[in-house]
């Protein structure tokens, strides 16, 4: 069997496997981006001429900078918290083998059954001093009124709490899966060399799942940058408007639907996409993300 024939066979197989994804990518990824790009040049009340000026107008909106700062603070808390806690918890989970492992994995998944919308309600009740089951604990911290909780400086922390508890459990189980992929002989060798559990976790396991953590970091960053549900829903409840236009995606939504400015909304969305892509590319190429997955030829 010639080398070229085997190459062609693998190319065809690759194409067959890639095609379903390509179709979805084009239909729900590329096409919306193209449509958004075309939309981003449309005229609006604030910029009747339309065109590339829409991008500048969106950046100059008086709500843009506060929203950027809000999301920046949110990301600065959310992404490290996710990475550290998820890495730690999955390493711990990995050390608990035997009968407790399965129930534990299940327990981590339970909070993820709360979607963003439900989490808003749950956290409202948990944090509202009058209704909370932990009102004594809140009172011990000097918090007796809802207005002490629901203020602008606290919002980033509250939204991190909501997002963290709905997302962390899933990722713990996923990273546990990546820990399972570490060959036993490596761990066995480490043990024979006298490494203790902490050393194995820190010096063997963690480096080996690093690329999965990088992958998680990219997705968590992208999701966090687009935070929308939590501030949007909290603004529609007891404290109306409390976090309106709090995040960049909310601002985009407002531009589109309250100001008849779809051009500005599309421009802002595309800029967010660009930031996500740059961040992803940076992280991927500054780490050994693709090493050993068959992309780089040895």
Determine if 226 is a binding residue for other proteins (CB under 8 A).
Answer: no
Contact present, 129 and 144 (Cβ < 8 Å): yes
Separation of alpha carbons 206 and 145, rounded Å: 43
Query: Which residue of 45, 140, 192, 293 would you call a contact of other proteins, by CB under 8 A?
Result: 45
Burial level of 276, CB count in 10 A (0-12/13-18/19+)? middle
Determine if 252 is a binding residue for other proteins (CB under 8 A).
Answer: no
- CB closer to other proteins out of 12 and 96: 12
Q: With the CA atoms of 53, 223, 181 and 21 taken in that order, what torsion angle do they form, in degrees rounded to the nearest 10?
A: -60
Determine if 46 is a binding residue for other proteins (CB under 8 A).
Answer: yes
Determine if 144 is a binding residue for other proteins (CB under 8 A).
Answer: yes
Separation of alpha carbons 187 and 205, rounded Å: 8
Determine if 66 is a binding residue for other proteins (CB under 8 A).
Answer: no
Determine if 217 is a binding residue for other proteins (CB under 8 A).
Answer: no
Determine if 154 is a binding residue for other proteins (CB under 8 A).
Answer: no
Nearest to 90 by CA among 188, 224, 206, 218: 206
Contact present, 220 and 167 (Cβ < 8 Å): yes
- CB closer to other proteins out of 61 and 94: 61
Determine the 3-state secondary structure of 70 from DSSP. Answer: helix
Determine if 278 is a binding residue for other proteins (CB under 8 A).
Answer: no
Determine if 274 is a binding residue for other proteins (CB under 8 A).
Answer: no
Determine if 131 is a binding residue for other proteins (CB under 8 A).
Answer: yes
Query: Which residue of 54, 70, 90, 244 would you call a contact of other proteins, by CB under 8 A?
Result: 244
Stretch that binds other proteins, among 88-96, 98-106, 114-122, 138-146 (CB under 8 A): 138-146
Cα dihedral 263, 70, 273, 176 sign = negative
- CB closer to other proteins out of 15 and 198: 15
Helix (H) or strand (E) holding 205: none
Q: Kindly state the tokens that stand for 277.
A: 């892509």
- CB closer to other proteins out of 95 and 237: 237
Q: How far, rounded to the nearest angstrom, does the alpha carbon of residue 63 sit from its chain's CA centroid?
A: 23
Q: Kindly state the tokens that stand for 247.
A: 């995040």
- CB closer to other proteins out of 129 and 217: 129
Determine if 145 is a binding residue for other proteins (CB under 8 A).
Answer: yes
Stretch that binds other proteins, among 2-10, 127-135, 183-191, 199-207 (CB under 8 A): 127-135
Contact present, 221 and 279 (Cβ < 8 Å): yes
Query: Which residue of 41, 165, 228, 239 would you call a contact of other proteins, by CB under 8 A?
Result: 239
Per DSSP, 111 falls in state G
Separation of alpha carbons 197 and 47, rounded Å: 62
In angstroms, what is the minimal distance from the CB of 234 to other proteins?
10
Query: Which residue of 7, 147, 180, 196 would you call a contact of other proteins, by CB under 8 A?
Result: 147
Residues contributing to the site for other proteins (CB under 8 A):
26-27, 30-31, 34-35, 44-46, 61-63, 128-131, 144-147, 150-152, 235-236, 238-245, 254, 256-262
């Amino acid at each position: 069997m010639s080398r070229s024939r085997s190459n062609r066979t693998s190319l065809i197989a690759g194409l067959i496997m890639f095609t379903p994804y390509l179709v979805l990518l084009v239909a729900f990824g590329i096409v919306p981006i193209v449509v958004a790009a075309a939309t981003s040049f449309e005229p609006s009340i604030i910029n009747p001429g339309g065109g590339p000026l829409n991008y500048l107008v969106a950046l100059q909106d008086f709500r843009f900078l506060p929203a950027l700062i809000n999301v920046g603070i949110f990301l600065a808390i959310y992404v490290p918290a996710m990475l550290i806690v998820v890495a730690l918890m999955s390493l711990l989970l990995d050390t608990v083998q035997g009968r407790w492992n399965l129930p534990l994995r299940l327990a981590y998944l339970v909070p993820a059954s709360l979607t963003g919308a439900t989490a808003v309600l749950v956290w409202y009740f948990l944090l509202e001093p009058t209704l909370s089951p932990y009102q004594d604990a809140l009172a011990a911290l000097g918090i007796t009124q809802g207005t002490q909780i629901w203020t602008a400086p606290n919002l980033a922390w509250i939204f991190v709490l909501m997002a963290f508890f709905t997302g962390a459990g899933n990722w713990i189980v996923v990273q546990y899966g990546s820990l399972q992929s570490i060959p036993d002989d490596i761990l066995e060798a480490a043990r024979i060399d006298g490494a203790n559990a902490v050393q194995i976790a820190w010096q063997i396991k963690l480096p080996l799942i690093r690329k999965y953590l990088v992958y998680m970091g990219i997705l968590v960053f992208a999701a966090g940058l687009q935070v929308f549900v939590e501030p949007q829903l909290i603004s529609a409840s007891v404290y109306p408007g409390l976090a309106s236009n709090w995040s960049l995606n909310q601002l985009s939504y407002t531009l589109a639907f309250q100001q008849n400015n779809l051009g500005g909304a599309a421009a802002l969305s595309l800029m967010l996409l660009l930031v996500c892509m740059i961040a992803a590319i940076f992280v991927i190429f500054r780490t050994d993300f693709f090493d050993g997955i068959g992309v780089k030829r040895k």
